[in-house]
């Protein structure tokens, strides 16, 4: 099996306890290249904790997280970012006083190698890269606008752009369409389709219409455990899922 055939991310028997309380309990799932997996589940199910575990913010009690052949549970948060895992939090954290261009520019990971010496070439490449990303996130017309003047949805897109410029193989997004207009949600779904041409995406989302539109695979969490997993069609019709959501 070549590296390309392996799943990009393989979570295996992952658990974490906080003072004896199992927030995530024996979790296993995989994400393939070019795939969008969505985690859904009621409040307190453990969804955010899963992202915290993958990005190294929270240390697992047991289990493993393999990403491109590396074991993330043993790595520091900063090294996990450098390995190619990008994470966007729920509330946009863009720099309000900087322009769209500047926000993207400061998010570019600066190398320390010999290329630093080739500043001119580097700057041109970087400028081209920033313009491409601005176009991708629908902000090419706003590139010199201060982030403070963007709509909430546009700030969310800018933050996705700030992740893209770091060139992650896996993007993790926590409720990316929360607070967005209907039109912005449609465009975000389109943006994700373009992103997965060369990356994979893990999303936490409550908006079922949006999940239906984007998800290849859906994982349903309840009290830290997976109660259903598969296509949206499959989990939607799973009696266990219906029970949890309707509270019978
Ligand atoms: N660092 C922590 N210390 C103690 N308990 C925690 C910690 N992080 C999360 N928890 C608990 O773990 C459980 C799962 O929380 P988590 O935020 O992952 O749920 P969620 O599914 O993301 O919920 P929501 O949809 O409300 O964001 C909750 O009961 C929460 O209180």
Residue 77 sits in a domain whose CATH number is 3.40.50.300
**CB distance 48 to ligand 1 below 6 Å:** yes
Instruction: Tell me if 54 is assigned to some domain.
Output: yes
Instruction: Tell me if 155 is assigned to some domain.
Output: no
Rounded to whole angstroms, the Cα distance separating 25 from 31 reads: 19
Element (H, E) at 186: helix 182-195
Domain limits at 34? Answer: 9-95+167-246
Tokens 């890269």, located at residue: 129
Instruction: Tell me if 3 is assigned to some domain.
Output: no
Average pLDDT, the chain: 91
> What is the tally of structural domains in the chain?
1
Instruction: Tell me if 139 is assigned to some domain.
Output: no
Instruction: Tell me if 127 is assigned to some domain.
Output: no
| 44 CA from centroid of ligand 1 (Å) | 5
Task: Say yes or no to pLDDT of 153 above 60.
Answer: yes
Instruction: Tell me if 156 is assigned to some domain.
Output: no
Q: 142-152: per-residue pLDDT in tens?
A: 999 999 999 99
What pLDDT score was predicted for residue 114? Answer: 54
Tokens 């589940």, located at residue: 41
Instruction: Tell me if 105 is assigned to some domain.
Output: no
When pLDDT is averaged across residues 112-139 and rounded to a whole number, the result is 78
Binning pLDDT at 50, 70 and 90, where does residue 118 land?
Answer: low
What pLDDT score was predicted for residue 2? Answer: 56
Rounded to whole angstroms, the Cα distance separating 136 from 157 reads: 9
Residue 27 β-bridge partners:
14
Task: Say yes or no to pLDDT of 199 above 70.
Answer: yes
Task: Say yes or no to pLDDT of 4 above 70.
Answer: no
What pLDDT score was predicted for residue 172? Answer: 97
**CB distance 219 to ligand 1 below 6 Å:** no
């Amino acid at each position: 099996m070549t590296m390309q055939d392996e799943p990009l991310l393989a979570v295996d028997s992952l658990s974490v306890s906080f003072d004896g309380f199992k927030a995530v309990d024996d979790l296993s799932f995989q994400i393939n290249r070019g795939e969008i997996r969505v985690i859904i589940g009621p409040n307190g199910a453990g969804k955010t904790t899963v992202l915290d575990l993958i990005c190294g913010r929270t240390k697992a009690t047991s289990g493993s997280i393999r990403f491109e052949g590396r074991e993330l549970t043993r790595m520091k948060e900063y090294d996990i970012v450098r390995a190619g895992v990008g994470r966007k939090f729920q509330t946009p954290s863009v720099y309000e006083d900087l322009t769209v261009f500047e926000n993207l520019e400061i998010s570019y990971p600066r190398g320390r190698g010999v290329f630093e010496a080739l500043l001119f070439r580097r700057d041109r490449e970087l400028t081209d890269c920033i313009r491409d990303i601005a176009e991708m996130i629908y902000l090419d017309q706003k590139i010199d606008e201060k982030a403070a003047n963007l709509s909430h949805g546009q700030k969310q897109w800018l933050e996705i752009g700030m992740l893209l410029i770091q060139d992650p193989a896996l993007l993790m997004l926590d409720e990316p369409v929360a607070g967005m207009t209907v039109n912005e949600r449609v465009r975000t779904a389109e943006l994700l389709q373009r992103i997965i041409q060369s990356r994979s995406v893990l999303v936490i989302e409550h908006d079922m219409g949006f999940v239906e539109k984007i998800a290849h695979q859906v994982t349903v969490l309840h009290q830290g455990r997976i109660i259903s997993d598969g296509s949206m069609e499959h989990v939607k019709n799973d009696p266990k899922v219906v029970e949890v959501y309707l509270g019978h």
